[in-house]
């Protein structure tokens, strides 16, 4: 991946916030904050001394601060993040990807499944949840101590009337009862492998492939 092939700008680190097994990096994008138009969009970010990587913008569209969720254990980032200080510069691409749709009223219910750092892509939508439909968010991590933004998730989902299930410590989403049928809007957040897996699983349980949404530039 080459960041120089994309239009980009220099952002500034505001602060870093440990959350679960991750690190939330809050960034000042300057006047470019207006370019983030849809929840679920992502950017390519280059930390000093590291290779560029795709990261979801977890802030709500229009927010003057962009928040990125980073796993320090991946890609040799831990020593780089330990040296990262406020006011450090980051190279950031313009927001990319289709984001999530806003026209959910044509569905009967909404099911969101997040695995790992994929939860970052849906946080901005939770700030202004676009529907009064029955909704549920299932978020999975390996261990109970690894959930990102746990208290914030509980607050936002409660405010929006969204059912929240946190899955960890050997629990399996596959063994859970979920409401899914032809009229369900399914939002999948996570790695391509997990999106593929849960797409096929939910389709086998009655979901319509056309009603499965991701924040990536491709559809399952």
Q: For the segment 26-61, what is each residue's pLDDT rounded down to a tens digit?
A: 999 999 999 999 999 999 999 999 999 999 999 999
Is the pLDDT score of 123 beyond 60? Answer: yes
- pLDDT value at position 70? 96
Q: For the segment 198-219, what is each residue's pLDDT rounded down to a tens digit?
A: 999 999 999 999 999 998 754 4
| 10 or 128, greater pLDDT | 10
Q: For the segment 93-106, what is each residue's pLDDT rounded down to a tens digit?
A: 999 988 998 788 89
Query: How buried is 82 (Cβ within 10 angstroms: 0-12 exposed, 13-18 middle, 19+ buried)?
Result: exposed
Domains in the chain with CATH codes: 3-93 (2.40.30.10), 104-213 (3.40.50.80)
Closest among 208, 167, 210 to 190, alpha carbons compared: 167
The answer to whether the beta carbons of residues 108 and 183 sit under 8 Å apart is yes
CA dihedral 219, 190, 26, 75 (to 10 degrees): -110
Which residues of 116-217 form beta strands (DSSP E)? 135-140, 162-167, 184-189, 212-213
pTM of the shown model:
0.92
The answer to whether the beta carbons of residues 157 and 164 sit under 8 Å apart is yes
Sign for the CA dihedral angle at 143, 146, 148, 149 comes to positive
Q: For the segment 153-177, what is each residue's pLDDT rounded down to a tens digit?
A: 999 999 999 999 999 999 999 889 8
């Amino acid at each position: 991946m080459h960041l120089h092939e994309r239009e980009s700008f220099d952002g500034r680190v505001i602060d870093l916030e440990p959350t679960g097994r991750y690190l939330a990096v809050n960034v000042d994008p300057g006047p470019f904050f207006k370019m983030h138009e849809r929840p679920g969009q992502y950017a390519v970010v280059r930390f000093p001394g590291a290779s560029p990587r795709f990261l979801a913008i977890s802030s709500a569209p229009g927010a003057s601060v962009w928040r990125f969720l980073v796993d320090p254990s991946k890609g040799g980032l831990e020593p780089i993040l330990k040296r990262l200080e406020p006011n450090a510069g980051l190279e950031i691409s313009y927001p990319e990807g289709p984001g999530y749709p806003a026209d959910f009223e044509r569905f009967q219910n909404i099911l969101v499944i997040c695995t790992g750092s994929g939860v970052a892509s849906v946080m901005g939508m939770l700030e202004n949840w676009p529907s009064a439909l029955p909704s549920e968010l299932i978020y999975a991590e390996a261990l109970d101590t690894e959930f990102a933004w746990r208290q914030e998730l509980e607050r936002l989902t409660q405010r929006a009337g969204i059912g929240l299930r946190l899955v960890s410590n050997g629990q399996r989403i596959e063994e859970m009862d979920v409401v899914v049928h032809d009229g369900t809007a399914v939002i999948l957040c996570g790695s391509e492998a997990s999106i593929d897996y849960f797409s096929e699983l939910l389709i086998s349980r009655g979901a319509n492939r056309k009603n499965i949404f991701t924040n990536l530039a491709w559809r399952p």
